[in-house]
Structure 1
Amino acid sequence: MTTEPAPPPQHLSPTWAGPDDRAAPPLLGDERELLTAFLDYHRETFAMKCAGVPAERMSELAVPPSGMSLHGLLRHLTGIEQWWLEIQFAGDESRPLMYYSDDDPDQDFEQLDGDVTEALARWRAQVGISRRIVAEAPSLDATGIQKTTGKPVALRRILLLMLAEYARHNGHADLLRECIDGSTGH
């Protein structure tokens, strides 16, 4: 007697809300094209991980003892975009840092009283500013000034750092999302 294998547990099947409409990074291209395409891919991966999560669950600390939440990651990545590309690379300090102050450096993760929809809109707007800054830069060798050291930092280095930041936090978002509603995916 043969038996049918049991279907995989529901939490193991890819169930992200909505279609995967991320643009796959190209297989060929110059360094700027590849770096920006991979960064955009990771940005959209993060957006997918947040898609469909009810606003009231975005601030949930779903992986104790970690203090991370999808809302906190969203705010943190907004700040990372602003800090590295707008402030350090472009040298534009005309706006205060979002979700950060010297008196309260961890407010991106710890003060989740703001509106999630507004936080998502701020992140998307900041990503737009970052894309414009990168597109307008004459080359990947163009430099900004690293605030902590006062030394020049190349756009190439910043893009690599941004890729690492998104890749790391997309892993965190994977765990958070699976704990929130069982959704998994790429």
Structure 2
Amino acid sequence: MAQPNDFFFTGLHLTGNTSNSLGSKVTPANVVQIPGLNTLGISLARIDYAPWGINPPHTHPRASEILTVLEGTLFVGFVTSNPENRLISKVLNKGDVFVFPVGLVHFQQNVGHGNAVAMAALSSQNPGVITIANAVFGSNLPISSEVLAKAFQLDKYMVDRIQAQF
């Protein structure tokens, strides 16, 4: 039986801890946190950025995203699909909105002098997230360094070094 707390979440007012290697923190509000979102096709996320922090290149396989800057200045962009692979990007300020189409690789970087905060609305209760570097260089089991070296046109030693960081 549904309960009020199935439709409730608190926490998006809290500043995320950005003291990590990326300088960002994503706080999701999706079906995991709010069971009442099941089948509703919507979710949110708060993203906090330290100065020069990034939300690294990633994709949402099940959702488009609309991002609103609440504080600060962000450089944002996405890459169109093959064969064009064209970067569509913009610098956003407080109150600006940008859309990332479903499944396309996208990112954000704080290019302002202070912290930045954005709110993302997604068109799925369970949008999923695939962070490109983590998926490619940190997969479990690892993708062979020979495959990655050829794909990224790097030497095997460099691939091994990158994989060791994940």
TM-score, normalization: structure 2? 0.31
Higher relative contact order (CA 8 A, sep 6+): 1
Select the structure that is richer in helix: 1
Select the structure that is richer in strand: 2
TM-score, normalization: structure 1? 0.29
Q: Which protein has the larger Cα radius of gyration, Structure 1 or Structure 2?
A: 1
